[in-house]
């Protein structure tokens, strides 16, 4: 499900969570200004416009609350240690440009995992495709070939 800032605001109000200035700024930056940010990127984005309005603790607490309410998901690129956040909670996957770091959502069907492995009970499936985005391909003149 693709959640808008209005959906998130209504959901927080329904859950009796107060809409503070800090929380409003976090929602605005998550839903309107950033794409797949880390907690640090979210903090830096808000700090650039409103110094001293939020702390990293406030960022982490709000991200945890939003995740617990199902208003965002977290994921890791290239099995890394850095957690990124996604406001698109519908089942989807990511294209990751290894040159510029752009992350793009895409939908694709995954095979019936229960038929692949006897006795294995899958809980979730996620596909990440790393490569070169069109802009980097044009800029660097490199041709990306998929070897599958």
* pLDDT for the residue 141: 67
**What are the backbone angles phi and psi of residue 124, rounded to the nearest 5°?**
-160, 165
pTM of the model: 0.82
Residue 34, domain member (yes or no): yes
Please say whether the beta carbons of 103 and 96 come within 8 A: yes
139's tokens: 């800029």
Q: Residue 108's domain spans which residues? A: 91-140
Q: Write out the chain's pLDDT in tens, 148 residues.
A: 778 999 999 999 999 999 999 999 999 999 999 999 999 999 999 999 999 889 999 999 999 999 999 999 999 887 778 899 999 998 888 999 988 889 999 987 777 666 776 777 777 777 888 888 999 988 876 555 554 4
Q: Number of folded domains in the chain?
A: 2
CATH number at residue 97: 3.30.1490.190
Please say whether the beta carbons of 136 and 68 come within 8 A: no
* pLDDT for the residue 99: 87
Residue 84, domain member (yes or no): no
């Amino acid at each position: 499900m693709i959640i808008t800032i209005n959906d998130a605001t209504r959901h927080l109000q329904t859950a009796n969570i107060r809409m503070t200035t800090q929380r409003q700024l976090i929602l605005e930056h998550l839903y309107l200004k950033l794409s797949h940010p880390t907690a640090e990127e979210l903090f830096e984005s808000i700090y650039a416009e409103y110094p001293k309005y939020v702390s990293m603790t406030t960022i982490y607490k709000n991200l945890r609350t939003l995740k617990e309410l199902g208003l965002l998901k977290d994921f890791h690129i290239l099995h890394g240690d850095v957690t990124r956040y996604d406001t698109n909670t519908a089942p989807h996957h990511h294209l990751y440009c290894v040159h510029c770091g752009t992350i793009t959502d895409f939908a694709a069907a995954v095979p019936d995992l229960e038929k692949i492995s006897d006795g294995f009970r899958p809980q979730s499936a996620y596909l990440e495709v790393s490569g070169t985005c069109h802009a980097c391909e044009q800029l660097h003149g490199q041709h990306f070939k998929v070897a599958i």
